[in-house]
Amino acid sequence: MDLHTDLHTYMHQQRQRVDSALSEYLPAKGEKPQRLHEAMHYSVFAGGKRLRPLLMLAACTCVGGDDNNAMPAACAMEMIHTYSLIHDDLPAMDDDDFRRGVATNHKVFGEALAILAGDALLTQAFITLAQPQPQLECATQQRVCAIIAAAAGAAGMVGGQVVDMQAEGTSVDLATVEYIHNHKTGALIRASIECGALLGAADAASYNRLCQFGRAAGLAFQIADDILDIVGDQQQLGKDIGSDAERGKATWPAVAGIKAARRQMEQLHQQALAALEPFGDSATALRQMSAYIITRSS
């Protein structure tokens, strides 16, 4: 596959499948209470890359699974990711007016409804995860639910967000930056890949390799995001450039310098590729997504 054509086509097709499944798993927009459902749909369909769902589907395929079995969990992951963005953008948190180039949820629906739309999306993720899938073992579904909940909660994403908030404006070391990255964004990315492997019925060796891949790709993603905040253009990022630095956010380039950050990101990409090695062609999509993650910022 040529990275710049086939990957785009592949990701575009997968995104369309995810978007159509998301529509199905969200409450219908026209149903009561309409305004809540509109607010939920608004942020879910505000131009996300669907990276987490796509990684989950690709991990499932990579181990020989049918990625339709991973679709509910992939959508649940995107709902959780979206709720976290809605709450992060609130005035009491990052106070952002724009996200992915469009007005943030609370700018359109007001603060109260934005909080509740986030709450409802987080809950909808577990409604989706708890629907019986006859083609899967119940224990597998339960494990996936446990992994996703753990990745999203106090020991995962929410914990990372708290430490990130506390670090703002203070001088932090690389260990704290790594903690924040591993929890705030890394946890959901790792969980996406791990759950994709489980839903594809991976054997233990393949599962462990994909977990390694997930750790490397998750951290690379966050470093790329930090670099993009410094060197990217606003259109690509959909938010203000330099906003992390302005806030005194703990980022890899801020602590280690941009050169070291790029080097670290490249190393992580190599680790990610090494973990995929034994899979051969079935890992093509994951390989290319890893490259996509880091080239976004170069």
Residues lying near its own copies in the complex (CB under 8 A): 27, 32-33, 35-37, 40, 83, 87, 90, 92-93, 110-113, 115-116, 118-120, 122-124, 126-127, 129-132, 138-139, 141-143, 145-146, 149-150, 152-155, 158-159, 161-163, 165-166
Please, how many CA atoms are within 13 Å of residue 68, restricted to the half-sphere of its CB?
4
Rounded to a whole number of angstroms, the minimum distance from the CB of residue 134 to its own copies is 11
The two structure tokens encoding residue 196? 């994709």
Of 278, 285, 74, 76, the closest CA to residue 196 belongs to 74
Task: Give me the residues paired with residue 102 across strands.
Answer: 99
Instruction: Determine the Cα–Cα distance for residues 242 and 186; give it in Å rounded to an integer.
Output: 22
Rounded to a whole number of angstroms, the minimum distance from the CB of residue 52 to its own copies is 16
End-to-end CA distance of the chain: 21
Strands of 48-123 (E only): list them: 98-99, 102-103
Handedness of CA 132, 69, 199, 46 (dihedral sign): negative
Rounded to a whole number of angstroms, the minimum distance from the CB of residue 244 to its own copies is 17
Of 155 and 274, CB closest to its own copies? 155
Of 40 and 46, CB closest to its own copies? 40
Rounded to a whole number of angstroms, the minimum distance from the CB of residue 234 to its own copies is 26
Rounded to a whole number of angstroms, the minimum distance from the CB of residue 197 to its own copies is 18
Instruction: Determine the Cα–Cα distance for residues 214 and 227; give it in Å rounded to an integer.
Output: 20
| DSSP assignment string, 117-183 | HHHHHHHHHHHHHTS--TTS-HHHHHHHHHHHHHHHSTTTHHHHHHHHHHHTTS---HHHHHHHHHH
Of 183 and 287, CB closest to its own copies? 183
Of 180 and 217, CB closest to its own copies? 180
102-103 vs 98-99, strand pairing mode: antiparallel
Instruction: Determine the Cα–Cα distance for residues 180 and 173; give it in Å rounded to an integer.
Output: 11
Rounded to a whole number of angstroms, the minimum distance from the CB of residue 188 to its own copies is 12
Rounded to a whole number of angstroms, the minimum distance from the CB of residue 227 to its own copies is 26
Rounded to a whole number of angstroms, the minimum distance from the CB of residue 159 to its own copies is 5
Of 53 and 118, CB closest to its own copies? 118
Residue type, 246: E
Of 75 and 120, CB closest to its own copies? 120
Of 26 and 228, CB closest to its own copies? 26
Q: Are 79 and 122 in contact (CB under 8 A)?
A: yes
Of 128 and 297, CB closest to its own copies? 128
